Structure 1
Amino acid sequence: MTTLSQDDAYQLPFASPEQQQQLLKQARVIRDTQWGTTLTYSRKVFIPLTNMCRDTCRYCTFVKTPDSGQAHLMTPNEVLSTVVKGQAMGCKEALFSLGERPEKRYQLARDKLSQQGYRTTLDYLRDMAQLVLDSSLLVPHINAGALNYDELKMLRPVAGSMGMMLESLTDKLMQRGQAHHGCPDKTPQRRLDTLIAAGKLDIPFTTGLLIGIGEDWQSRIDSLYAINRIHQQYGHIQEVIIQNFRAKPGTGMANACEPTRQDMLLTLAAARLILDPSISLQAPPNLEQDHQDYLEAGINDWGGISPLTRDFINPERAWPQIEQLAQTCARAGHGLKERLTVYPAYLNQPSQYLDRDIATRLSALSAHNGLAAQQCHL
Structure 2
Amino acid sequence: MIEIIETGPFNTVQDLGRPGFRDIGVTAGGAMDPLAVRVGNALVGNAIDAAVIEVQTFPFKLRFSASTVFAVAGADNSPLLDGKQLLPWGAHLANEGAVLELHQPPKLARSYIALTGGVDVPALMGSRSTALRGNFGGHEGRPLSNGDRLEIGEVADPAPLPLNGLAVVDPSNAMSDLFPPVVDGVLQVRAIPAGEHHLFSDDGEAFWAQTWKISSRSDRTGYRLSGDPIKPTETIEMRSHGVVPGVVQVPPGGEPIIQMSDANTAGGYPKIAGVIEADLWRLGQARAGGKIRFVRSSHEEARRLEQAIALYVEDIRKTVPMVKRALSAMV
Fold-level similarity (TM above 0.5):
no
Q: Could you tell me the TM-score, scaled by structure 1's length?
A: 0.27
Larger strand share, 1 or 2: 2
Larger helix share, 1 or 2: 1
Structure number with the bigger relative contact order (C-alpha 8 A, sep ≥ 6) is 1
